[in-house]
Chain A
Amino acid sequence: MPDLKESIKSGIVTMMREAAFNVPRDVREALQRAYEIEDNPVAKANLKAILRNIEVSGKTKLPMCQDTGTPTFFIELGEDFPLKSELRSLIEEAVRTATSEIPLRPNAVDPWTYKNSGDNTGRYVPIIHLELVPGSEMKVIYLAKGGGSENTSKLYMLSPVLGLKGIKRAVIDAMLDAGPKPCPPIVVGVGVGGSADMALKLAKKATFRRLDEPNPDPKLAEIEQELLEKINSLGLGPMGLGGKTYALGVKIEWAHKHPASLPVGINTQCWAFRRSEAVFDSSGNMKLLVPP
């Protein structure tokens, strides 16, 4: 039986490699549809370049985007999964290996001295969100989060009297402010409730739901669809240069909230939505779920 630690480490390197040269199938299909329905020549040229880029990256193993992102992990760790104590250091080692082997651009910079650590690790980096869940497996979502699309994140601490109208207006305002910056077509995550930090975390987590999978709550599914249509009717288009498709999807996650607060977090994913998902069983065998 292979060593558990080694299996996890090499599994995570594989996840990072998969994400560097590919986007998930639902994103690819949505981009293809956007290209087919587009009639603005600049928008069409942008979408054509994007689709070609996905193809070239897959074939040549050149990274999809030169910003290979901040390594970010959302982990659901089974309470009975046999390894916990060294998980952070294992992930850090995997990130170092992936950075040098793939190679990835070093993106971890000290905010005071601007010194680049050179290997994508540093204080709190890789970013790891850990949740304990029942069971003996470990589910890992890896996100290579680009700086451009992270910079257009927003937090609105709305007055609760504004309610749903306020939430919808906040989403439209965030899109106007984002404009061309997050490399559209984007996926928009909206996190409602919780607290300031929770709303932003939920916004990011919301984007992991597949584009062809509507919100399980029919009322929220309707709001997601309405917001998607309204965002695209702004005419910002691919790369903010005009056209039909600015957003590929809008995804909502929520939490209960304090009576006096209405936090709304917004996170955007660029079209090069590089993520991979895998499940590790208690022996360390990895099953890659995304990209298929």
Chain B
Amino acid sequence: MRERRMPAEKSGPQDSVADMLREAEDRALVADRSDPHSPYHPGANATPGGRRRFMFGSLAVAGAVASLPGLARAKGSLGSEEHDVPADATKVPGYPLADESYGTRSQFETEVRVRFKTATPLSSWTFTPLQGSLGIVTPSGLHFERSHGGTAVIDPSKHNLFVHGMVRSPKKFSMKDIKRFPSMSRTMFIECSGNGLTEWSKPTMKTVQGTHGLTSTSEWTGVPLRTILEEAGVKPGAKWLLAEGGDAAAMTRSIPMEKALKDCFLAYGQNGEAIRPEQGYPLRLMVPGFEGNVHIKWLRRIEVSDAPFMTREETSKYTDLMPSGKAVQFSFEMEAKSVITSPSGEMTLDGPGFYEITGLAWSGRGAVRRVDVSADGGKTWRQAALQGPVMPICHTRFRLPWQWDGKEAILQSRCVDSTGYVQPTLGQVIAMRGLNGPIGSIYHLNAIQSWLVATDGKVSNVHYY
């Protein structure tokens, strides 16, 4: 089991946040580079396939070394069970099937969420390891986290959802009540509006986990919020609702009633089972396409009102300060964005030849219509293939075959969504919003990402626009 430690956040000025994140990532990379199963291990190929080839190679060596007992011991990873590794799995029985079990991943798989070590681990966040992501779904255990008062532990048999305020009949629903309503499922992304906040004024984080890891996709199952609101009967004049979590932060955000009735839902399921504790077990508000923090976890209360409540999170925190001194408030939608996940920062290409460029694209305003990829820093673009089905407000996997000639290249991806919005360059974003400090207006950075491929195959995070 690997330990990843990140430096403590100091109570310094805002510009030290980026430095501390970078230091934290550096420490994690030291461990990755010595891990033969990591895509960041020197000699590992940039593509998942290559990574596996290397892994098998290293296992063969391990088997030969341990030939006397015929067994080698692989280092168990987080979320796995450690088993003896035979030199030849066809010559010995495997481990027996348990009468009852909850499966684990392979002991050779080492990807983990990495937490930025804020001063307290109670208000903190962890990044999804996008560098090894396959397809569009994020494994539940790797879904990014952002919590403001730790992960609440809630017995669902004692959990209630209260609906009150401007409603005809206030309601108290048990989880059993909630699950009796007609259900729905939706595969969609949630992205923290702070995703990429270190990248405003200079390339800071080295890996795609650091630059883009605060977005994840799951299939969520629950009940439409409209159903719940209709059960209580919203009174005329109601324009907003407050959603409150049952955690130590009693996290609260105001949601426009129009959005609540349009497509919000209350999720109790994630990827085919109950929602994970860190994602809000037993109940989470889902607000498709809106910034992550409004997806209130451990949902315990909805208060209907004629005005927004102006909570701390929608005044002092998730607002976007412009150079004029004015801050944009209720900037809810997550706009079209994409990133190449492989090859990406800190990977090393194993010489000229074929590589699949692959990545993720998404938009909070609709479906991904097109993704273009450039290998020359945006001078020329080629349309990538999209993995179907392409769903609105959902991670969309793109792929493009590439023949690397061994010369310096700058890889970029550019997403166009179903509204026609084109993902901007960093220069366009800064020309529009300015830079009020080293991390600008912090939230909603959705610029095109550039990865430099050097002639030695090393991939790094650069700004090129």
**Same complex:** no
* Chain A residues with a Cβ under 8 A of chain B: none
* Chain B residues with a Cβ under 8 A of chain A: none
